[in-house]
Amino acid sequence: MKRLANGTATFVLMLVLGSMFLAAAAQAKLVRGQPPSYYKKQQSNTEFILEGGLADPMGDLKDELYLVSEDPMANVKGLGQGTGYELGLRIRHYLGDFFAVSPAFHYIRMGAAEGVMDYQGSENLAYNVRSTVYKYGLDFHAFSGGPKSSFRPFLTGGVALAHNVYRDELQYKGVYTTSINAPAFSGGLGIKMKNIELVGEYTYNRFDTPNLPPDEGTMSYNWDFLVVRMAISFGR
């Protein structure tokens, strides 16, 4: 099976990251243009963060789509998803110089599996299989370096509610969609450079359901994914 990347996802991600860079440049220009103050401004304990990045599927998401697999040993739960994108926003509240809590929302769309197949005597029917995750989480961040340092590595970990959405469409046969809510857990490493951040994060996202293919009753599914994201922060 040919695995296709999501071109729209890449285009949207480029727009988001470009906007983030422009916003950062504009903010830096405004700061340089301000006259020096004789009063030291107290640093805020809260900041608002916009995020965007690439999402790489793991587990059953990444395995070859079973519907078009010719391998008898193939994973029957495989969805053949490609690299997609993540968009998110969060509020980070510092409880001290080195620790923060952060409620966050992320939208993750994987690259769809697309192609043509023969189905019940019909030839060359187009198909599209797509997966999406809405992630509502609470993260915890542990920083190194001082609060005013220009380079601060940090650890991130958190818990979330993952709303997992499956959608498939077969030409002339209609659309099938279903969703499953499940707890998810994430962990990763990041670097904060003033108001710009880079983060690599792995999310453990697994659940049981009878509603996904194959139609063999309740089965366990692995929808783990890895995200590499860039972020820009405001307000601190």
Instruction: Give 22: exposed, middle or buried? Use CB within 10 Å, 0-12, 13-18, 19+.
Output: exposed
Share of the chain above pLDDT 70, in %: 78
% of the chain with per-residue pLDDT over 90 = 62
Per-residue pLDDT tens for 11-60? 445 554 455 444 445 454 544 555 555 455 677 899 999 999 999 999 99
Pairing relationship of beta strands 122-143 and 219-222 according to DSSP bridges: unpaired
- From the list 176, 226, 228, 210, the residue with the least C-alpha distance to 62 is 226
**CA dist., res. 181 & res. 56, Å (int):** 20
Q: What are phi and psi of 31, to 5 degrees?
A: -65, -45
Q: Which residue has the tokens 């139609």?
A: 215
Query: What's the Cα-to-Cα distance from 178 to each of 92, 166, 212, rounded to whole Å?
Result: 32, 5, 8
pLDDT of 4 = 43
Q: What is the mean pLDDT of residues 181-202?
A: 97
Q: What distance lies between CA 50 and its chain's CA centroid?
A: 13
Q: Are 167 and 175 contacting, i.e. CB atoms less than 8 angstroms apart?
A: yes
* Longest Cα–Cα distance in the chain: 80
**pTM for the structure as a whole:** 0.80
Those residues whose C-beta lies under 8 Å from the C-beta of residue 28, and which sit 6 or more positions away, are none
* Listed range (20-29, 69-78, 139-148, 215-224) with the worst mean pLDDT: 20-29
Beta carbons within 10 angstroms of residue 57's beta carbon: 22
